[in-house]
Structure 1
Amino acid sequence: MKKTILVGVLQCLTLVLFAVEPAGYYNSAEGKSGETLRQALFSKIKDHYNVGYDGLYNVYPTSDVTADGKVWDMYSTCTWTHGQKNAVITKQYAIVTIANILCRKVGLVKQVLWFPMPFTFILPTAK
């Protein structure tokens, strides 16, 4: 249990230590408050848009592409080609679901919460 908590704390610290906004990103908001601060921050986000869950599939080829042109799945070890209907992805999530169910049945719910995809590494990279 202590090891699990320690690993979780170290993961959080790593994220906090390496999370950095681009240089100068908030310069337009420096020294402002109230309505002027709101306007400065709004000018940063006004051109962003939400593609929704259904639109993600069309965004991945430009947002999450690897050097070899594959689509990067940051939550697994799998890579895939855009437009590919991949059985490996379905198999991966089936394995994860089964692993989560089995862990819950034997009382390992806390490990499942800390490590939501414990068996992802056993899957081959999609080709």
Structure 2
Amino acid sequence: MSKQSRLGAVLMSSMLYLVTDGLAFAQGDCTPVDVEPETNTVVIADMILPEQTLCYQLVTEAGRQVSLQVIEDDNISALLQDPMDPQKFPRVPSDRQTYEIVVKQIKRTVTPQLFRVSVALVP
């Protein structure tokens, strides 16, 4: 295999990894999260495996802002996806917004990690 062919194969496998490890999930792949109405907060407590990406789905009223904070395990990243991506959520009622919360490890580990992420709604 020539040097250019190997480079092309590496680039293609890297691009495939980025596409398959991307942050797009089908609607059914995310775990629903319900916020406590009295406090407008919830804590997601879960375990993540090495190289795993977890997805949680939060439905809120229109006009609410969502705040995320990792409160346990500094090797965890929690990201809030764009709530109005029409390819992911083609039929969202106008009075509600659907968010995807994506959780990943920052540095790869060889063991599962427990984590907690606080989710708060702000009017």
Structures share fold, TM-score greater than 0.5 = no
Name the structure where helix makes up a greater proportion of residues.
1
Name the structure where strand makes up a greater proportion of residues.
2
Q: What is the TM-score when the length of structure 1 is the normalising length?
A: 0.21
Q: Which has the higher contact order (CA 8 A, sep 6+)?
A: 2
* Bigger-Rg structure (1/2): 1
